[in-house]
Amino acid sequence: MDARASALANVAKALKQPRVGIRLDILARIMADLDSDKELQGMFGSPVTAKLGIIAAVNDLRIVEIEAVKLSDAQKKRFLEVLNAILTRRIVEPETL
């Protein structure tokens, strides 16, 4: 199988995988929480979201640092703790319409 056929086979396989998605209103709330967090502002500057991005791989979405911000191991750990707390709160919050 040549490289192109292999790549197309990988795409076809990926399309059969379960898909992950997030509602845009929930994403907007997560971004607002990230930007308003004083601890994250100390690490990334303000707005925090200007230094973060979302990467997607098959059925996985991740919020990651995309700017050249040098974080210590302790800061990386704390960033993940704060991020997980925000995501958990927003994922389980009751819908308000």
| Domain range for 57 | 22-92
Q: Give me the pLDDT at residue 84, please.
A: 92
- When pLDDT is averaged across residues 27-40 and rounded to a whole number, the result is 95
Tens of pLDDT, residues 45-83: 999 999 998 887 766 778 887 777 788 899 989 999 999
User: Is 84 inside any structural domain?
Assistant: yes
> How many domains, the chain?
1
User: Is 70 inside any structural domain?
Assistant: yes
Per mean pLDDT, which of 1-10, 16-25, 33-42 is the most reliable?
33-42
- In sequence order, the 6+-apart residues with CB closer than 8 A to the CB of 85 are none
User: Is 13 inside any structural domain?
Assistant: no
Amino acid code (one letter) for 19:
R
User: Is 59 inside any structural domain?
Assistant: yes
C-alpha distances out from residue 12 to 5, 7, 57, 77, Å? 10, 9, 14, 36
Q: Give me the pLDDT at residue 37, please.
A: 96
> What's the whole-number average pLDDT of the chain?
82
* pTM of the shown model: 0.70
User: Is 12 inside any structural domain?
Assistant: no
Which band of pLDDT confidence, cut at 50, 70 and 90, is reported for residue 93?
A: low
Whole-angstrom distance, CA of residue 90 vs CA of residue 85: 9
User: Is 6 inside any structural domain?
Assistant: no
* Nearest of 38, 41, 54, 43 to residue 87 by alpha carbon: 54
Q: Give me the pLDDT at residue 14, please.
A: 63
